[in-house]
Copies of this chain bind each other. A is one copy, B any other.
Amino acid sequence: MKNLLYAQSGGVTAVINASAAAVIEAARASGQVGHVLAARHGLVGVLDEALLDTSMLSADDLARLARTPGGAFGSCRFDLPEPEDDAAPYDRLFQVLAAHEVGYLLYNGGNGSMHTVAQIAGEAARRGVPLVTVGVPKTVDNDIEGTDCCPGFGSAGKYVATAMLEAGMDLRAMASRVGRVFVMEVMGRNAGWLAAATALARRGGDDPPHIVLMPEVPIDRARLLAEVERTVARIGYCAIAVSEGISWEGGERVMEQHVDAKGYVQLGGAGQTIARLLSAELGYKHHWAIPDYLQRAAGHLVSATDFEQAHAVGSAAVEYALAGRDAMMPAIRRVSDAPYRWDIVPVPAAEVGNRERLVPAHFIRDDGLHVTPAAIDWLRPLVAGELPVHFDGGVPDWRQFELPRLASRLAG
């Protein structure tokens, strides 16, 4: 029996390890896989022959692994060249896989990783290498094409919506003779999905967030200022969610740029820039928050739906691999909105690789400053459901797993 190699790629999520655990469980249960190996730090680890043996993980360990945020085996940001430009990494890759008798490669990542899946599968086929390569989708950015949503997004969305809800209650409490604004910058360089998800904090018309700025819509500065002023005039404060990658009309990215005392060019982020602009132009007090890693690592606030989907794509990927469905990615298909139902369908990695799924126009309010009710309806089920969290000493009891590295079978 051939071995299966699982590797993680790109930014990790609060549920990426649920996919990892599902892969290991499904491979073991199949009886058709030798060992399940994991790459240390993704494809970089494969090329370094830094492979881990998952055999020592018990069923209980796997249940714990599934609920551990971060990438248990490590991830990387690494793009393969096209094989016609540079064949060497492929030579090395296939040598490592052959040396460790790997017949199945499962690559857990975003749209760039799906391109990598297509590259590896294509080159393996061209060379006649006996390998089945399957993609496992994952990204908090929710920007992979071909799937209704992306594992990792629901939990990050739950986090940012909860953060906006709670910060908004704090903002509301403080009296002030001048208006006050709160800006939270969330992830999303090109796609505004996480900014849109903050709108799930709203229950009534005047609840935060009052404004949602997404990269899909270049910002009309005058319109933004007017909307903030209207909101502050009405309720005294204004809470704003911004994607890190927003830009002004004309295309300039929203960031402060300046040269510090030592001559380095420094960039202020989008959230900070918007907060300071409102303070400078309108005289409001301002606060800003940047959750950064916190939004994609919050295992204590995972969406049960997201967790199930992360598990499901892991299991399905093993199924596809064993069925020889090369270069495919299990995708989530929405079967119905209410009640929310979904299933898993295969899509070719080549069709989705390196493409980017943006927030569609009908999810964005006409003035570009918020989302539509249709967006809320679409987003809501993705953040639904909670999972128990085990605490120890007041903090979540997340286990870290140190797996033994396999002995090298190749010269470095």
Chain A residues at the B interface, C-beta cutoff of 8 Å: 8, 11-12, 14, 40-42, 44-45, 68-72, 74-77, 158, 161-163, 165-167, 169-176, 182, 200-201, 256, 258-262, 264, 266, 268, 276, 280, 287-294, 296-301, 303, 380, 382-386, 389, 391, 393-396, 398, 400
Contacts and interface: CB of A to CB of B under 8 A. Distances in A.
Contact of A292 (B173, B289, B303): B289
A182 B262 CA distance: 22
Q: Which of A293, A298, A382 has the most CB of B within 10 A?
A: A293
Contact of A69 (B166, B200, B296): B166
Contacts of A158: 394-395
A49 to B, nearest CB: 14
A74 B173 contact: yes
Contact of A42 (B72, B169, B175, B290): B175
A44 B175 contact: yes
Contacts of A276: 260, 264, 266
B292 A280 contact: no
B175 A41 contact: yes
Given A258-B258, A280-B264, A162 B293 contact: no
- A-B complex: 9 closest residue pairs judged by Cβ atoms: A70-B169, A41-B175, A383-B394, A71-B173, A289-B292, A167-B293, A166-B297, A170-B297, A76-B175
A42 B12 CA distance: 44
A165 B288 contact: no
Q: Copies per complex?
A: 2
B394 A173 contact: no
Contacts of A70: 166, 169-170, 172-173
Contacts of A300: 162, 166, 301
Nearest to A258: B258
Given A74-B173, A162-B300, 4 more contacts: A14-B166, A167-B293, A268-B268, A289-B294
A112 to B, nearest CB: 15
A385 B68 CA distance: 20
A69 B259 CA distance: 40
A231 B296 CA distance: 24
Nearest to A13: B170
Contacts of A200: 393-395
A106 to B, nearest CB: 17
A394 B384 contact: yes
A266 B268 contact: yes
A290 B293 contact: no
A399 to B, nearest CB: 10
Contact of A291 (B69, B260, B291): B291
B163 A294 contact: yes
A293 B297 contact: no
Q: Which of A266, A393, A395 has the most CB of B within 10 A?
A: A395
13 contacts: A40-B175, A45-B175, A70-B169, A74-B172, A74-B173, A74-B174, A162-B396, A165-B398, A171-B293, A182-B293, A200-B394, A288-B290, A290-B290
Nearest to A279: B264
A382 to B, nearest CB: 8
A352 B371 CA distance: 49
Contacts of A294: 163, 166-167, 289, 291, 294
A302 to B, nearest CB: 11
Contact of A396 (B8, B74, B166, B174): B166
Contacts of A256: 260, 266
